[in-house]
Amino acid sequence: QSALTQPASVSGSPGQSITISCTGTTNDVGSYNHVSWYQQHPGKAPKVMIFEVSNRPSGVSNRFSGSKSGNTASLTISGLQAEDGADYYCSSYTNTSTLWVFGGGTQLTVL
Amino acid sequence: QVQVVQSGTEVKKPGSSVQVSCKASGGTFSNHAISWVRQAPGQGPEWMGGVIPVFGTLNYAQKFQGRVTITTDESTSTVYMELSSLRSEDTAVYYCARHGGNYYFHGMDVWGQGTTVTVSS
């Protein structure tokens, strides 16, 4: 069982927007702005899409945005494209010996 | 642009140990924290431990304390992760990931390609 809770799946049509939630606790998401989101295609390594809650690395489309409220972080993808179909994982720094925790992942299907 | 290159696929017997290596290509790890993360089939990633070479700091998740050892060879910009007393539940893809700075709270921004470790009798 993963430390952070994400919906198992979401879907949307091309051009639409979707939001993936990530719920933690006051030990992680609720206490730190060190929240990252990763995109993972089958058989590939995770790729960071958002870091520090809402920052995009260079080269990541501005269609990807992140936010946080209390113990819940969110990833929004606007203007869905076919290539956005992948698994998405949230991750947060924690105040336990397990310095980083992850969500169980959300499979995004672009219809 | 630094890349992280890991060693190849491993197949191990239960009770044995495995060592996975992680080398910086096109740069060094010297000013970055490095973490090891594993991902079992169909599961989310799991942080195992890390090292901050510039401080000589080692940290391990409680779950893996006593079974995992992380070492570094700064002369070759290589980090090693050894996991002992392997069991079938350790079958996973093991990733090395570089943090964006020399503290763990910086997110993991560059990941290796992953090393598949299969534990089977």
Give B63-81 pLDDT, tens digit per residue: 999 999 999 998 888 999 9
Do the bridges between strand B115-119 and strand B10-12 make them parallel or antiparallel, or are there none, so unpaired?
parallel
Residue B112 pLDDT: 97
Assess whether pLDDT exceeds 80 at residue B28: no
Q: Is the pLDDT of residue A1 over 80?
A: no
Q: Is the pLDDT of residue A2 over 90?
A: no
Nearest CA in chain B to A46: B111
CA-based nearest distance A79→chain B, Å: 25
Tokens of A75: 């990833």
Residues in contact with B91: Cβ distance below 8 Å, sequence separation at least 6, in sequence order: B40, B41, B117, B118, B119, B120
**A96: chain B residues, CB-CB within 8 Å:** 62
Tens digit of each residue's pLDDT (9 = 90 or more) over B77-90 = 899 999 999 999 99
Residue of chain B minimizing CA distance to A95 = B105
The strands making up A18-23's β-sheet, listed across from edge to edge, are A18-23, A72-77, A64-69
User: Nearest CA to CA, how far is B103 from chain A (Å)?
Assistant: 11
Query: Which pLDDT value is given to residue B26?
Result: 82
Of the candidates A21, A103, A8, A17, the residue with the CA atom closest to the CA atom of residue A69 = A21
pLDDT value for B67: 97
- Considering only the beta carbons, identify the residue of B43, B104, B111 that sits closest to A45: B111
pLDDT digits (tens, 9 = 90+) for A32-84: 999 999 999 999 999 999 999 999 999 999 999 999 999 999 999 999 999 99
Q: Which residue of B has its CA nearest to A53?
A: B107
Contact B45 A51 (CB under 8 A): no
The conformation of residue B43, written as its DSSP 8-state character, comes to S
Asked which of B23-27, B42-46, B65-69, B98-102 is least confident by mean pLDDT, the reply is B23-27
* Average pLDDT rounded to a whole number, residues A80-90: 98
The CA-atom distances, in angstroms, between A97 and each of A81, B23, B45, B56, B62 are 38, 25, 16, 17, 6
- Under DSSP, is residue B106 helix (H, G, I), strand (E, B) or coil? coil
Calculate the average pLDDT of chain B: 94
Q: What is the DSSP string of B73-100?
A: ETTTTEEEEEE-S--GGG-EEEEEEEES
Q: Give the pLDDT confidence score for residue B2 in this predicted structure.
A: 86
